[in-house]
Structure 1
Amino acid sequence: MYKPSYILLISLLSFAFVSCKKTEQTPVITHLTLFNAMPGEEKLLPSFRGTAPLNNYYLSSLFYYGVFDIGGRYAITKEDQPLAIYSYPDTLLPNKPLLDLNLKLTKGSINSLYFLGSVAHPDYLLDTYLPPAHQAADSTFGIRFINLSPGSKPVNVYLVSAGERKEAEGLAYKGITGFKNYSATLKTSDYTFEIRDQESQQLLTSYTTIGIGKPTENAWRFRNFTIALIGLPGESTEKLKQKSFLFNNY
């Protein structure tokens, strides 16, 4: 007969083994958001198999220019993640992808990958960031700014809700600011941000928050957002002209 102490030791070792095994089997999730900011490319098709043949198109998500939905967020478990980006529907071999990437992703990190440029000169920007936390007592939210407009000159961003205050200066193509906190109390009015050409001060686009200060509509409080400049400078068509776009971060 085994002694009680021996049985206890075996039980503890078994528990430790099972716990360790469960820990080893639980992958660390990395967050990756994809966004099509490539003017003129209405549909992009990503393949996380790299350049391996595309068999089941219906299993893939198409990314429309200037549109984002929840399907654009992925949970990644690899630190080295292949990703090929195709111009849809031109996805059949032997055609090559617009971009053939091998992403280096830190485990547990939060990332946004923007597809930029054009078919002739495809480009991308990988943004790894840590969104700030907001204390309940502060009633704040965070906003940062990013320039995703290929060929654009540096821009300034102004807050013009009450007077005028410069929020970002000389933001060049692919430039990103840090997050800045803004009040979101019941007495807070909506904010209007203007994006202007730095040199000429020409207004390019603007963005106004909606619902701040309204308890039933306030989707801003305690969250973080990115206001992006997308589109092409000098374009007049609604689809391709420079405009603002809001990303809902974490």
Structure 2
Amino acid sequence: MKYTNKILTAIVLTIGLSSCDKNEEPSPLSSLYVINGTVNLPSVKVNTTGAAFDFSKFNDPIGYGAGKIYSVKAGTVTIMGASSATPAANLFSFTRDFKPQAMYSLYLAGQMPNVETVVNEETYPKYTGEVIAVRVINLMPNSTPLNVTLASTPGVNEFTNIAYKQQSNFKKYAATDATPSDYFDFQVRDAAGNLISNYLFGYYDAINGKNKYITLVITGMIGGTDAATPSVSFLLSN
């Protein structure tokens, strides 16, 4: 009888523990938007799990000038990355705290084989009406601080003195659906006013970006050619 009672007790405890496991709330998450702006890094694989990872089996890399959003378990997590060409070798690794439900951006900068990272915790301003919120970040390793103008007003800086790895604040622009024509031609210039690159922000960009937050990512190298040619990428931040 005592033996039977012990078995029943063990079964009850097992059921109780299983019930507790099923009722546990999922771990809180944060989000990480990874942007590949490293010169001569065609694509990168990113591990946001904080655990060991076989990059060779991961088939969803981030191309140059592109971005991808990942979920990250809140708490202290190590983020790692590897080139798609050499998945066995870590390109970068860092550890930081991620707050529950917070949003972060990770910009990969520098020039291969030296990858630099910029991590920002995001705060988005609130706007009323139909607007497009735009900001810029300078990921050109050999640049001096840059200015961004509009082609229509080349002598007026929309964004001023943006140093390497620096991100501007958001600036709002009115969004209308009047005609399917070009909206804004954002032009990147050096301190002397020389044109380096541009992004033609057109009608469909405006439609997609209405009431959203947009980051213009400046990449490449001053004087660069081919993959290192100065360029500007359009990324929706949310």
TM-score (norm 1): 0.76
Which residues of structure 2 form unaligned runs of 5+?
Answer: 1-21
Contact 2:45 2:61 in 1 (8 A): yes
Runs (4+) of structure 1 exceeding 4 A deviation are none
Distance in 1 between the 2:153 and 2:160 partners? 19
- Name the CA shift for 1:25/1:49 in 2 (closer, same or farther; >3 Å): closer
- 1:244 Cα shift? 0.7
- 1:163 Cα shift? 6.8
Equivalent position amino acid for 2:71 in 1:
A
Distance in 2 between the 1:51 and 1:91 partners? 16
1:83 match: 79
Cα deviation code 1:152-207 (max 9, x no counterpart): 11111112336753111111101111111110124586111111011x21100111
2:19 match: none
2:230 maps to 1:219? no
Task: For residue 232 of structure 1, give the secondary structure of its aligned residue in structure 2.
Answer: coil
- Name the CA shift for 1:41/1:163 in 2 (closer, same or farther; >3 Å): closer
Moved more, 59-68 or 201-210: 59-68
2:46 match: 46
- 1:45 Cα shift? 2.0
Task: For residue 218 of structure 1, give the secondary structure of its aligned residue in structure 2.
Answer: helix
- Name the CA shift for 1:51/1:100 in 2 (closer, same or farther; >3 Å): farther
Equivalent position amino acid for 1:247 in 2:
L
- Name the CA shift for 1:53/1:223 in 2 (closer, same or farther; >3 Å): closer
Cα deviation code 1:101-141 (max 9, x no counterpart): 11322221111111111334221111221223333xx2111
2:130 match: 139
**2:69 alignment partner, one of 70, 73, 83:** 73
1:153 match: 144
Greater fraction of residues in strand: 2
Contact 2:135 2:168 in 1 (8 A): yes
Which residues of structure 1 form unaligned runs of 5+?
Answer: 1-20
Contact 1:141 1:220 in 2 (8 A): yes
- Name the CA shift for 1:60/1:82 in 2 (closer, same or farther; >3 Å): farther
What is the aligned-residue RMSD (CA, Å)? 2.6
2:183 maps to 1:207? no
Distance in 2 between the 1:161 and 1:29 partners? 43
Cα deviation code 1:217-249 (max 9, x no counterpart): 722221110111101111122x21111111101
Contact 2:145 2:161 in 1 (8 A): yes
Identity level (%) = 21
- 1:51 Cα shift? 7.4
**1:242 alignment partner, one of 222, 230, 234:** 230
- Name the CA shift for 1:35/1:231 in 2 (closer, same or farther; >3 Å): same
